[in-house]
Amino acid sequence: MRDEIWVFIEYQDGEMIENCKEILYEAHRLARIKGKTVHALVMGKKVKEVYEDIKRYGVVTIYSVEHSLLATYTTDAYVAALESVLTMYRPLLLFMPSTTNCRDLAPRLAARMKTGVVTDCVKFTWGSDDVLLMTKFIYNRKAHCTFDSHTGRTQLATVLPKVFPPALPKQCEEEVPVYNVPIRLNSSDIRTQVLGVIEAEASSVDLSEAGMIVAGGRGAKSKEGFMLIHELAYALGASVGASRVATDEGWVPFERQIGQTGKVVAPKLYIACGISGAIHHTMGIKDSGTIIAINYDKSAAIFGLSDIGLVGDMHEVIPLLIQKIQKY
Ligand code: FAD
């Protein structure tokens, strides 16, 4: 087992995503305590475009895997590629961002490599020897739990965004070596094919930064019904969010989804309309300021979390609210 801490780099337009900068900050902190080194692992079809950015964050080496089958993310290709790289180099730890891709990738990879993975970590401390203690929230953030790992194999962890500060870029004085790792991938082993990529709406705001959110769920009933959510949001100057039902139905794009597999938000005001309050949704809104719920079922779970509850049909309540708001 090598004495190295690796960070899996996700990137966009030649720059690594913010979550990776935060992981690099924490990786360097952990490395300093134990005298270890931090290395980056980057994969894709045109990986070179991100080298310059990575080099500014104090890594000792960049391990690079370039392959046409890694052009867009597929579970089979990325798991196979990562497995062969990790089997070859056997780093002590591999940190990954808690992005949609890595949330899919990390558990699959851990199962394949018979190693441990802790997802959505919020804290790391060293235990005895080289055992890392990894802490994450459980029970809808009501408690936290710390895990350690004794598998003797590379430990995997995904890290929640906005928990650690981002590492700051520095002028790179020393040459950072790039190792091009050769891997074998067969297109016949890859069971899914990406037919196209739908770009996110250019104008969409980052929900995790929004100050006010009006979100709609199954209660909206249709894409046309969901227009009411847009109208209320417009009247308030708020952003539009949604439950998974609403995004799965195609009433709003996926980047509007809030919850476990969507965005984690913390607005000052959150209005949930026709949303039941399933735990997968509410874990994404727990840090909101005031929560208002509109639901015609007075026993809906969302009322347990809300500060203000309006029991009624959202298709009747929302137009009245809009009228009131417009009077001010
Ligand atoms: P429902 O649960 O069907 O609730 C609809 C609510 O609307 C009901 O309470 C009903 O009383 C009310 N209603 C209906 N009509 C009206 C009306 N006219 N006026 C007022 N109220 C009305 N969900 C997410 O949201 N985000 C996630 O990230 C997410 N991740 C998931 C991850 C996993 C692994 C799994 C298994 C599930 C995940 N889900 C997620 C799904 C989640 O469990 C729920 O199924 C989903 O949140 C329910 O959406 P909803 O509240 O819109 O629909």
**Among residues 176, 170, 156, 166, which one has the least CA distance to residue 23?**
166
In this prediction, residue 194 carries a pLDDT of 86
In this prediction, residue 203 carries a pLDDT of 55
Beta strands in the chain (DSSP E): 4-9, 11-12, 15-16, 37-44, 61-66, 93-97, 117-126, 132-138, 143-147, 155-159, 178-180, 212-216, 239-242, 269-273, 290-295, 308-311
Give the whole-angstrom CA distance, residue 41 versus residue 152: 21
Tokens of 10: 């996700």
Q: Using the mean position of ligand 1's atoms as its centre, give its distance from the Cα of residue 308 in Å.
A: 19
Give the whole-angstrom CA distance, residue 100 versus residue 320: 38
Q: Which residues participate in the annotated binding site for FAD? A: 218, 243-244, 257-261, 274-281, 295
Q: Using the mean position of ligand 1's atoms as its centre, give its distance from the Cα of residue 274 in Å.
A: 8
The full DSSP string for 63-96 is: EEEE-GGGSS--HHHHHHHHHHHHHHH--SEEEE
Q: What mean pLDDT do residues 195-205 have? A: 70
| CA-proximal residue: ligand 1, atom 52 (nearest) | 217
Tokens of 188: 């016949």
In this prediction, residue 324 carries a pLDDT of 93
Q: What mean pLDDT do residues 191-212 have? A: 78
Q: Which atom of ligand 1 is nearest to the CA of 217?
A: 52
Q: Which residues participate in the annotated binding site? A: 218, 243-244, 257-261, 274-281, 295
- Cβ < 6 A, ligand 1 pocket: 217-219, 243-246, 257-262, 274-276, 278, 280-281, 284, 294-297, 300, 313-315
Q: Ligand 1 pocket: which of 264, 280, 294, 314 to mutate (most atoms <8 Å of CB)?
A: 280
Scored b (16 or more CB within 10 A) or e, 259-291 reads bbebbbbbbebbbbbbbbbbeebbbbbeebeeb
| CA-proximal residue: ligand 1, atom 7 (nearest) | 274
Query: Per-residue pLDDT for 151 more than 90?
Result: no
Q: Using the mean position of ligand 1's atoms as its centre, give its distance from the Cα of residue 292 in Å.
A: 16
Q: Using the mean position of ligand 1's atoms as its centre, give its distance from the Cα of residue 43 in Å.
A: 36
Tens digits of residue pLDDT in 111-138: 999 999 999 999 999 998 889 999 998 8
Tens digits of residue pLDDT in 62-109: 999 999 999 999 999 999 999 999 999 999 999 999 998 999 999 999
The full DSSP string for 254-304 is: GGGBBSTTSB----SEEEEES----HHHHTTTTT-SEEEEEES-TT-THHH
Share of the chain above pLDDT 90, in %: 79
Query: Per-residue pLDDT for 144 more than 90?
Result: yes
Scored b (16 or more CB within 10 A) or e, 19-53 reads bbbbbbbbbbebbeeeebbbbbbbbbeebeebbeb
Tokens of 13: 């337009």
Q: In this structure, are residues 50 and 14 in contact, taking their beta carbons and an 8 Å threshold?
A: yes
Residue 145 bridge partners (DSSP): 136
In this prediction, residue 141 carries a pLDDT of 73
Q: Which atom of ligand 1 is nearest to the CA of 313?
A: 19
Q: Using the mean position of ligand 1's atoms as its centre, give its distance from the Cα of residue 23 in Å.
A: 32
Q: Ligand 1 pocket: which of 263, 265, 292, 295 to mutate (most atoms <8 Å of CB)?
A: 295
| CA-proximal residue: ligand 1, atom 37 (nearest) | 280
Q: Using the mean position of ligand 1's atoms as its centre, give its distance from the Cα of residue 229 in Å.
A: 15
Q: Which atom of ligand 1 is nearest to the CA of 302?
A: 9
| CA-proximal residue: ligand 1, atom 2 (nearest) | 276
Give the whole-angstrom CA distance, residue 22 versus residue 164: 5
In this prediction, residue 71 carries a pLDDT of 92
Q: Using the mean position of ligand 1's atoms as its centre, give its distance from the Cα of residue 282 in Å.
A: 10
In this prediction, residue 201 carries a pLDDT of 66
Mean pLDDT (the chain) is 93
Strand order in the sheet with 132-138: 143-147, 132-138, 117-126, 155-159, 93-97, 4-9, 37-44, 61-66, 178-180
Q: What mean pLDDT do residues 165-170 have? A: 93
Query: Per-residue pLDDT for 52 more than 80?
Result: yes
Tens digits of residue pLDDT in 18-42: 999 999 999 999 999 999 999 999 9
Q: Ligand 1 pocket: which of 256, 263, 275 to mutate (most atoms <8 Å of CB)?
A: 275
For the entire predicted model, the pTM comes to 0.72
| Least confident range of 190-204, 216-230, 303-317 | 190-204
The three-state secondary structure class of 225 is helix
